[in-house]
A and B are shown apart, each in its own frame.
Chain A
Amino acid sequence: MSIEKGRISSQQLLFLISGFVQGSVLLIDFTVGITEQQTWMVLLAGLAIAVPVILSYAALAKRFPGMNLVQINDMVYGRFLGKAISIYYIFFFSMTLSFNIRDVGELYITFLMQDTPFIFLLVFFAATCAYAVTKGIEVLARVSHLFAVTGLFVTFSTFILLIDQMDFSNFLPLFELPFIRLFQGIHIVSIIPFGETVIFLMIMGSLNKTEHAVKNTFLGLLIGAVSLLVVAVRNTAVLGRTQTIWTSPSFQSIRLINIGTVLTRMDFLIGIAQTVLIFFKCSLFLYALAVALSQLFGLKSYLPLVLPLAGIEVIIAATVFQSPVDHAVITQNAGIIYSAPLIFVIPPLSLWIAKIRGLPKFETGEGK
């Protein structure tokens, strides 16, 4: 039985994924402190590693049409192990959602609305996400192209406006960093913007046709990755080595825009784009979390869980880290280590087991 009645097209999936990946634009700052001027390389390497894994998500969704991650886990690993794995995923969804809600709060408190109480921002942001989620995935999918295009517009327009301030010698020297730092950077990038797309395993079950799912997942990922790459190149070219000392290199570089003293103080553009994109990302996470929990409990609808879950997430977001530094340190270590099996091991393993066992049996006609 499917909890979600709405259906999305594979073209909408493309925009959902590209908007979702762009929602992590500010999070590449976690990598910048480690990989400095080589962030662009790390992004490409992270993408190269993540692509086969993410395509395995689409292949898994194609193999189990109409089923979400919790149902797939139950079928592949059995009731008990499947449920345990699903609880691990639910923990991951819950934590990642709270970090993203916190990111919005930190963004506003640091750059836009310093005097507003932190909890107030979190409550209103989470309530807006909860409202969007109660409308269903179909509504979010229908407006996804607007979010994706807004992100692309801000990224490319700010890049063009900053071209006169770019110094491409800032990318030198190449290959200067120790391997372990590059590896950590690749690990962060492959998990935070790209690997988090594992939540689409909760959404791809709503696809009306799965034929083009793999192709559109790849294209969506590519569009999102190009946007991240443009941001990484822009920040390094404009700020050079100083990008590691700013709380947000993106904000700092945008503040330098000065076209004939008319076009200045363009940082509001980043504020708007990031609010919209993180809202989109958080809504998808909250949706995935509510659907996963409802599926786990065997409920008919996920709607009653949305508001209490939003309430829990707000408090976790407000208390999980003591400061942005704490946030960065924990994410750069424990955060990416605990989520690695969920992103890189379990979905490809599920696909492999499903192939060996010939699952799902109802589709191949072997089951009774």
Chain B
Amino acid sequence: MIYLLLIYAFIAVINVPGLIKRREWRELAAFSVLYVIAFALSLMYVLDIPVPSPMKGLQHLIVDILGIEYPQG
């Protein structure tokens, strides 16, 4: 948990001041959105909350719903 906070504090420290100084608000907004997603996912991982797998969803859609699959064996 401490490592997680340190890593994300480091990411913010090396990106945010430059963006504010150059008044790049659009870049700051995009950075913030991804930063929050990354932090939320990392927090879920550290707290052992299951992170949904996009590939499991895709496998369900393609194989189970659409029925497209190579025969096994």
Contacts and interface: CB of A to CB of B under 8 A. Distances in A.
Check if A and B associate.
yes
B59 A333 contact: yes
Contacts of A294: 30
B63 A334 contact: yes
A333 B38 CA distance: 28
Interface of B: 7-8, 11, 14-15, 19, 24, 26-28, 30-31, 34-35, 37-39, 41-42, 44-45, 50-51, 53-56, 58-59, 61-63, 68-71
Contacts of B54: 91, 95, 316, 320
Interface in A68-115: 91, 95
Contacts of A297: 26, 30
Interface stretch (A55-63, A233-241, A259-267, A299-307): A299-307
Interface in A253-308: 293-294, 297-301, 304-305, 307-308
* Interface residue tally on A, bucketed by range: 20 to 34
Nearest to A304: B31
Given A309-B34, A335-B55, A337-B62, A319 B19 contact: no
A183 B14 CA distance: 49
A308 B39 CA distance: 8
10 contacts: A123-B7, A180-B70, A301-B24, A301-B27, A311-B7, A315-B38, A316-B41, A319-B51, A330-B56, A337-B68
B62 A333 contact: yes
A318 B42 CA distance: 10
A184 B71 CA distance: 9
Given A299-B26, A311-B11, A334-B63, 5 more contacts: A123-B7, A184-B70, A299-B27, A300-B26, A311-B38
Contacts of A332: 70
A352 interface: no
Contacts of A319: 45, 50-51, 53
B31 A305 contact: yes
Given A119-B45, A293-B30, A315-B45, A308 B55 contact: no
Contact of B41 (A119, A180, A312): A312
A70 B71 CA distance: 35
A321 B41 CA distance: 15
A305 B31 CA distance: 6
A318 B49 CA distance: 13
Q: Which 8 A-B pairs have the closest CB atoms?
A: A311-B38, A308-B34, A315-B41, A334-B59, A304-B31, A319-B51, A334-B62, A308-B38
B15 A307 contact: yes
Given A300-B24, A332-B70, A311 B55 contact: no
Contact of A318 (B11, B15, B19, B45): B45
A305 B28 CA distance: 9
A297 B50 CA distance: 30
A156 interface: no
Contacts of B15: 304, 307
A153 interface: no
Contact of B53 (A299, A304, A321): A321
A91, A95, A180, A315 interface centre (most CB from chain B within 10 Å) = A315
* Best-buried of A119, A299, A305, A307 by chain B (most CB within 10 Å): A307
A275 to B, nearest CB: 22
Contacts of A168: none
A338 B42 contact: no
Given A293-B30, A304-B19, A95 B55 contact: yes
Contact of A311 (B42, B44, B56, B59): B42
B51 A315 contact: yes
Given A304-B30, A338-B62, A312 B38 contact: yes
A334 B51 contact: no
A316 B57 CA distance: 13
Interface string A150-194: 000000000000000000000000000000100010000000000
Contacts of B51: 315-316, 319
